[in-house]
Amino acid sequence: MSFSTDVKEDILKLNTDDSMHFVEAEALLRFGSEIILGNPKRIHFSTSNMAVLRFFVRRLKEIYKDLHYELFSRQMQKLQRTTIFSCMIDAPVEAILKDFDLLSEHSSKKQEILSEPGLMKAYLRGAFLVKGTVNPPETSNYHLEMVTDTDYEALFLQKCMNYFELNARITKRRNHLIVYLKEKDSIIDFLRHIGANVMMNEFENIVIRRGLAANVNRLMNIDVANQQKTNQSSKEQLKYIRYLERYYPLEKLDDKLLLVMTVRKENPEASLNEMVEIINQSYHTEITKSGLNHRLRHLKEIALDYEQKRKDD
């Protein structure tokens, strides 16, 4: 089962106020049905989700007690063996067309929907049930979209979504218009607004776990990189120390430099901070990180100068 299907099942468990049912029904009709203009007229609603079909029928039966319809299904063979569930409405078609203003692209009820946040949520809920998908949060490609065929509906969905500051955008894919969200926080907010609270929490928890795992990996990579840098620096410092011990008259070095040589040899993998702590605590000698770094550089300079002097001689 896909994440989108789980979201839709979560929505279908929501107990919404009766005042929202008409708007949910309008969105379902506009996004999932086609009007068959014959004699008589009929309305054909289709979806790949049987639970959505049952929800659609239930909403219309709440409004029209004399609803007459036939249910059937067919299997699509093209890419995946998807079953399409359909409802063919025979009556009262004229009343439905009139009440929902379905023969007009510009519904007279759209302004009323825009005036009430709860109605906008209901419309988005119905549209998502029919034409919405959302990528699973386990992927790094966060994406939620709803598909429509008309500019008016795409702009209306965008307006409803952006009322809640979701930063919805519109693009074109083949002959369809796609209203979509890319930011994970916007997707989480959208799921909350349409009432998919269980899946919203799951989405958010997975995003948080992914973020924590990414931070742990980043910190581990930083630690590894820092350790590699420390090891490289230590290797270079030990090279100059061994050179001085072999060729340079150590009595010419002061005690501070000799102490640094000793600590570095005894702690070849220690960072500068760790060496400072060792010197301060074990040798009861106060030194700062910059002071330690200065002494290590000084040992290097002495070794390089002495090596050059030996070559010149």
Q: What is the pTM of this model?
A: 0.70
Please name the residue that has the structure tokens 């279908």: 12
Separation between Cα atoms, residue 143 and residue 225, nearest integer Å: 34
pLDDT at 288 over 60: yes
DSSP letters, 143-188, are -EEEEES-HHHHHHHHHHHHHTT---EEEEETTEEEEEE--HHHHH
**Mean pLDDT to the nearest integer, 15-25:** 90
pLDDT at 221 over 80: no
For residue 247, how many other CB atoms are within 10 A of its CB? Answer: 11
pLDDT at 145 over 80: yes
Task: Give 211's contacts (C-beta < 8 A, 6+ positions apart).
Answer: none
pLDDT (tens digit per residue) in 167-195: 999 999 988 999 999 999 999 999 999 99
Give the tokens for residue 256: 């501070």
Task: Give 308's contacts (C-beta < 8 A, 6+ positions apart).
Answer: none
Cβ proximity of 132 and 12 under 8 Å: no
Supply the mean pLDDT for the chain: 88
> Model confidence at 252, in pLDDT bands (50, 70, 90)?
confident
DSSP letters, 19-44, are HHHHHHHHHHHHHHEEEE-SSS-EEE
Predicted pLDDT of residue 212: 73
